[in-house]
């Protein structure tokens, strides 16, 4: 069984964050280990983030990387510039293939911090990545352009590739107009589109984390990137369809939905 590392924050609702990653790894038959960067408390109207000290994060990574062979890792919410720099320094000393989920969480009024952080993502983190998986809003920030259609998704992916990350998956999801959720992979110079009907449910907390974790797991098992993205999209689709409703405005992806569906349809 392959060992897979996630470097991410804790989600109090367990739909996303490090909990989603570990549950996804378990469902897809890889052994997940984790380095926690922060602890988030989530309500329908607010996200409170408690950042862990950088020394604690480095200690976790050192413990993992000196004891286990890690061929694939994913990064999620890093939280601040010091953590990003420390994580990059650790990963730069390995041969680990990295899936970068560039989670950008900044409060209103933190525009300068956000700009500095995005610059560091482009200069330090993305060049370490084998593939990055921004959603539409994150892709717009990383590419410096507005994205409202498929043509703009392609151009944004090209701009993100220019940072040094060879492969880019942009998650269109529900943000694009129409009835179809379109995700796009640019692998080198080759384009792939993955489409499914949109799901009218609020159980989407953790969809992005689960998606990137599923890609990581499939890559670790030797699957080619386009097939890994296809599996991840199907996995998330099932997780949203059968997700856990917490309130009228909030709900979490359920990573066990795919397994249950397979058992029920045998």
Q: Which range has the worst mean pLDDT, 5-19, 35-49, 52-66, 142-156? A: 35-49
The region, left, alpha or beta by phi > 0 then psi within -120 to 50, assigned to residue 44 is alpha
pLDDT digits (tens, 9 = 90+) for 40-73: 888 878 888 899 999 999 999 999 999 999 999 9
For the segment 143-170, the average pLDDT, to the nearest whole number, is 97
Q: How far apart are CA 24 and CA 129, in angstroms?
A: 20
Q: Quick one: pLDDT band at residue 109, thresholds 50, 70, 90? A: low
Band (113; pLDDT cuts 50, 70, 90): confident
pTM: 0.95
User: CB burial class (10 A; 0-12, 13-18, 19+) of residue 175?
Assistant: middle
**pLDDT of 192 higher than 80:** yes
pLDDT at 265 over 60: no
Burial class, 200, CB count within 10 angstroms (exposed 0-12 / middle 13-18 / buried 19+): exposed
């Amino acid at each position: 069984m392959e060992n897979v590392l996630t470097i991410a924050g804790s989600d109090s609702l367990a739909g996303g964050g490090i909990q989603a990653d570990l549950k996804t790894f378990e469902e897809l038959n890889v052994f997940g280990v984790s380095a926690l960067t922060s602890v988030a408390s989530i309500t329908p109207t607010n996200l409170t983030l408690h950042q862990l000290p950088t020394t604690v994060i480095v200690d976790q990574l050192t413990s993992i990387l000196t004891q286990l062979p890690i061929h694939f890792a994913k990064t999620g919410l890093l939280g601040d510039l010091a953590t990003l720099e420390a994580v990059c320094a650790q990963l730069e000393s390995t041969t680990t293939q990295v899936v970068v989920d560039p989670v950008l969480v900044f409060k209103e009024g933190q525009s300068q911090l956000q700009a500095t952080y995005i610059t560091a993502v482009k200069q330090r983190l993305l060049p370490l990545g084998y593939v990055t998986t921004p959603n539409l809003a994150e892709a717009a920030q990383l590419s410096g352009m507005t994205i409202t259609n498929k043509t703009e998704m392609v151009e944004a992916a090209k701009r993100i590739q220019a940072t040094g990350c060879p492969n880019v998956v942009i998650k269109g999801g529900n943000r694009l107009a129409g009835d179809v959720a379109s995700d796009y992979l640019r692998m080198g110079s080759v384009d792939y589109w993955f489409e499914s009907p949109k799901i009218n449910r609020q159980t989407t907390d953790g969809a992005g984390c689960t998606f990137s974790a599923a890609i990581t797991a499939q890559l670790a098992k030797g699957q080619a990137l386009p097939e890994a993205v296809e599996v991840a999209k199907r996995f998330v689709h099932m997780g949203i369809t059968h997700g856990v409703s917490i309130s009228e405005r909030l709900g979490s992806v359920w990573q066990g939905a795919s397994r249950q569906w397979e058992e029920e349809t045998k």
